[in-house]
Amino acid sequence: MRLDQLQLTGRAPALPLQLELGGEPLVLERLLRVLPGQRYVGLARWRGRLVLVKLLVGGKAGRHFQRELSGARLLAEQGLCTPELLAEGFVAGQGGWLLFDYLEGAESLWDAWRVVEREVLLSDAQQAVLGEALAVIGQLHAKGLWQADLHLDNLLRQAGRLFVIDGGGVQVEKAGQPLSRQRVLENLGVFFAQLPAELETFTEELLVHYLLANAEHALPLEALLREVDKVRRWRLRDYLKKVGRDCSLFAAKIGAFGLRIVRREQETELSALLADPDAAVETGHIYKTGGAATVVRIELNGRPLVLKRYNIKSWLHGLKRFWRPSRAWHSWVEGHRLELLGIATPRPLAVIERRWCWLRGRAYLLTEYCGGPDLIARFTPYVESAPPEAELVALDRLFAALIRERISHGDLKGHNLFWDEGRWSLIDLDAMRQHRRQASFARAYARDRARFLRNWPVDSPLHRVLDQRLPRL
């Protein structure tokens, strides 16, 4: 197959796939990342060895190829640790390719972070991962380079060495000369914005790792935090746009007679269930039935999931609901909002709206299952005493996060919080809202706080303990 034919294969070309690149055969064995009709990144066999290949096709192939090639060369020329570029080429009218040494057994720093992310804030293990990343970023900046698409997945650890990858995101100010202070602040803002917001109080401490590699500039903390806040707000807006369209993360079918969006990596496994969600509701274990919603637990290939069906109770109820986004859609968006903000909630997997000429009817939300006990069950033994300190600290962290992000839940009863691997996880997000104004949030938070405390008698020791701990606005 030629490169110009590859762009016609869409998102999932049949593998293995043999290509002719510069007169030599290459067998593409596994895809790692795909931008249909534009970019295919994967593992391939070339000259008897395993390589990482980047294939650029389509109308923008020439520009993308030059950017990738320039970035890869800049990293190598400035002495940064990066995979060796083994071969490259471009054919007008077809596309371009870059072949890199494959780092067998390498681990991304993102994977390393996932292992330690639930530890005590800035534990030794967390500091080790972030310190490694900041040291490499400092080395980049000292050479006049920065990674525009800066995240932990673009740093690979192999045999004790850290490699910078993805030359397409590498940019240069003055090669070999330290980056300007403003560019440093902007790029560090991109890095810190992807970390849990709870770590913000440790920013100055973490910066030490960066300064050991690049002490060219004094970095005002306030200026850096402004950059972090700006990037965080942009990331959230950008991500919430993606949850409503077809992209690399989500497979979406949206039209006048229905909406179905599913996490792309789950699409194959969930396809049969999503084709007939009512059948799954009828056979699932019922948590709640009747009225406005039916909630069931289902088993899919031994995997527990939760399916929530939002019912239309009557024609009058339908008239009230058809013209506005469904509660399933609202919960889908807010679930992803919480996920990006680092606030625990069962991961949303798919959403469906039944429509007739764009008028909405029944809707469905599929999420992961949270197997822990809810707050009421967890705290029942402690109504006359105090719960374990670790669980109270987890509550402190949850409320601090809600206040920091100005998020109100709308129905903060005990049955809507579940204990999940050391964290309190929020469910039932139908009424959740992130407020722009502090005044409106303060009113909503006061209602949430009062509803939360009503889970226990006012004169109980547990109520008094929680009333003392929960912050007031």
Residues 138 and 57 in one domain: no
**For residue 7, what is the domain's CATH number?**
3.30.200.20
**Distances in Å between the alpha carbon of 133 and those of 188, 198, 383, 393, 403?**
11, 18, 45, 29, 29
Q: Which domain does 311 fall in, by range?
A: 250-368
Average pLDDT over residues 192-205: 93
* Other beta carbons less than 10 A from residue 14's beta carbon: 6
Cβ neighbours, 10 Å, residue 464: 14
Of 331, 33, 289, nearest to 165 by C-alpha is 33
CB atoms within 10 A of CB 229: 15
Do 208 and 86 belong together in one domain? no
Examine the pLDDT at 297 and tell me if it is beyond 60: yes
pLDDT of residue 337: 97
Long-range contacts of 191-196 (CB under 8 A, 24+ apart): 191/133, 191/134, 191/137, 191/150, 191/151, 192/224, 192/228, 193/227, 193/228, 193/229, 193/231, 193/232, 193/235, 194/151, 194/152, 194/235, 195/130, 196/117, 196/342
pLDDT at position 315 is 46
Domain identity same for 357 and 255: yes
Give the pLDDT confidence score for residue 325 in this predicted structure: 78
DSSP state of 374: B
| Pair 336, 411 in one domain | no
DSSP 329: H
pLDDT exceeds cutoff 70 at 189: yes
Q: What is the dihedral of CA 325, 329, 333, 335, to 10 degrees?
A: 140
- The total number of structural domains that make up the chain: 4
Task: Identify the domain boundary among 349, 368, 387.
Answer: 368
Given 198, 217, 242, which residue is the final one in a domain? Answer: 242
In degrees to the nearest 10, what's the CA dihedral of 136, 141, 143, 146? 90
Identify whether residues 60 and 130 lie together within a single domain: no
The DSSP secondary-structure symbol of 373 reads: P
Residue-level pLDDT at 328: 92
DSSP code of residue 449: H
Q: Which of 368, 395, 412 is the last residue of a domain?
A: 368
Backbone angles phi, psi at 204, to 5 degrees: -60, -40
Q: What is the percentage of the chain residues whose pLDDT exceeds 70?
A: 97
Q: pLDDT tens-digit profile of 394-453?
A: 999 999 999 999 999 999 999 999 999 889 999 999 999 999 999 999 999 999 999 999
Residue 320 pLDDT grade (very low, low, confident, very high; cuts 50, 70, 90):
low
Helix (H, G, I), strand (E, B) or coil at 238: helix
Same domain, 151 and 63: no
- Same domain? For 259 and 358 the reply is yes
Are 129 and 174 contained in the same domain?
A: yes
Model confidence pLDDT, tens digit, residues 63-83? 999 999 999 999 999 999 999
pLDDT at 42: 95
Asked whether residue 368 carries a pLDDT value surpassing 50, the answer given is yes
What's the CATH number where 209 sits? Answer: 1.10.510.10
pLDDT digits (tens, 9 = 90+) for 385-397: 889 999 999 999 9
113 and 235 assigned to the same domain: yes
